[in-house]
């Protein structure tokens, strides 16, 4: 894939604060017109990495391009072609929806800010609420307003930092339908999220833990490359079975899912040995299942080292 096909292409990015590494040797390519999901626990370096990509922060070392522009030498040009939706709602709560959009349009020096705001109101379904104060909106409507503001200057790349945190499931689904519509129109989207169902809606994903990019690729590729073996236990006393398995082998990944227990390990023999030590119990069924994305991420988290430890 050539540089012209990539919206983001960075190599060996590093960033520290107060001597503590927050981003460590991150290299990543994001093709144009795709949705790239950025996953990881709180404090893993996702937000810092996003800010490095769009020129808001300068890396201590490393290099790369965003939309074909140098992320160190051409930051002003990068910012004009990127829409960045921050994790915290950052518009003015004492202005109406329309007033916020007109203000942002003026910041971007758009020729006709009133028209740009009107178009955004229609595009994001905000026209019936345009005179409502932003501070009175629910989480889902604030999210929609923030997205409208990001899109005013018609960016080529959208960076979304945990955009659906704290909103209801329907608002999350509506938001993702909008994101897929934008990507279908050629927009590139990089979105950080904690939700596994959202990750599965991305064309590719990357998992970052303690500043390091542990893996990236399609969901199927990430699961396959993990090499995890997973069994599901149905029936019996799930809590007792989980305790027995943890005692038999503390390294196993054990997670209850309702009345089912998932057990994962990188080594099939290790799984077999632990399960063989379970007491016989009537009605218990043990079957092989594919590992879930959540199983894989918990496994990856265990393999990482806390950069602030």
Residue range 3-223 forms a domain whose CATH class is alpha beta
Say what percent of the chain tops pLDDT 90.
56
Average pLDDT taken over every residue of the chain: 89
Q: What is the pLDDT of residues 152-167, one digit of tens each?
A: 999 999 999 988 877 7
Specify the higher pLDDT residue, 251 or 95.
95
**pLDDT at residue 309 above 90?**
no
21 phi and psi, to 5 degrees?
Answer: -70, 130
**pLDDT at residue 307 above 60?**
no
Burial of residue 209 (CB within 10 Å: 0-12, 13-18, 19+) is buried
Assigned token pair, 194: 């904690």
Q: Where are the domains of the chain?
A: 3-223, 229-290
Assigned token pair, 17: 């604060």
Please spell the DSSP secondary structure of 234-270, one letter per residue.
ESS-HHHHHHHHHHH-TTSEEEEETTEEEEEES-HHH
**Rounded to two decimals, what is the model's pTM?**
0.86
Assigned token pair, 257: 């899912």
pLDDT at 169: 84
- Where does the pLDDT of residue 2 fall: very low under 50, low under 70, confident under 90, or very high at 90 and above? low
DSSP state of 167: -
C-alpha dist (Å) from residue 70 to 54, 78, 94, 236: 10, 8, 37, 58
Question: How would CATH label the architecture of 229-290?
Answer: 2-Layer Sandwich (3.30)
């Amino acid at each position: 894939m050539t540089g012209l096909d990539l919206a983001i292409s960075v190599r060996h990015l590093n960033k520290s604060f107060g001597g503590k590494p927050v981003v460590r040797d991150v290299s990543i390519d994001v093709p144009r017109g795709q949705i790239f999901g950025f996953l990881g626990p709180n404090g893993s370096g996702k937000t810092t990495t996003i800010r490095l990509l769009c020129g808001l922060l300068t890396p201590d070392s490393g290099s790369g391009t965003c939309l074909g522009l140098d992320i160190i030498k051409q930051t002003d040009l990068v910012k004009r072609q990127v829409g960045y939706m921050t994790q915290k709602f950052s518009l003015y709560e004492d202005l109406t929806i329309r007033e916020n959009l007109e203000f942002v349009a003026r910041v971007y020096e758009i020729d006709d800010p009133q028209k740009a705001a009107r178009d955004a109101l229609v595009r994001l379904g905000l026209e019936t609420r345009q005179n409502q104060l932003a501070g009175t909106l629910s989480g889902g409507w604030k999210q929609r307003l923030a997205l409208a503001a990001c899109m005013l200057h018609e960016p080529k790349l959208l960076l979304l930092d945990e955009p659906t945190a704290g909103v209801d499931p329907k608002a999350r689904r509506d938001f993702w339908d909008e994101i897929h519509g934008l990507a279908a129109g050629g927009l590139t989207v990089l979105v950080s999220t904690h939700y596994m169902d959202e990750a599965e809606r991305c064309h590719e994903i990357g998992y970052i833990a303690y500043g390091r990019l542990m893996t990236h690729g399609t969901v199927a590729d990430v699961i396959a490359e993990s090499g995890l073996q997973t069994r599901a236990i149905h029936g019996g006393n799930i809590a007792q079975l989980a305790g027995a398995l943890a005692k038999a082998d503390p390294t196993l990944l054990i997670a209850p899912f309702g009345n089912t227990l998932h057990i994962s390990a990188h080594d099939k023999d290790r799984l077999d040995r632990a399960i063989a030590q379970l007491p016989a119990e009537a009605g218990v069924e043990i079957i092989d299942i594919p590992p879930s994305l959540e199983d894989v991420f918990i496994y990856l988290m265990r393999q990482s080292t806390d950069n602030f430890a």
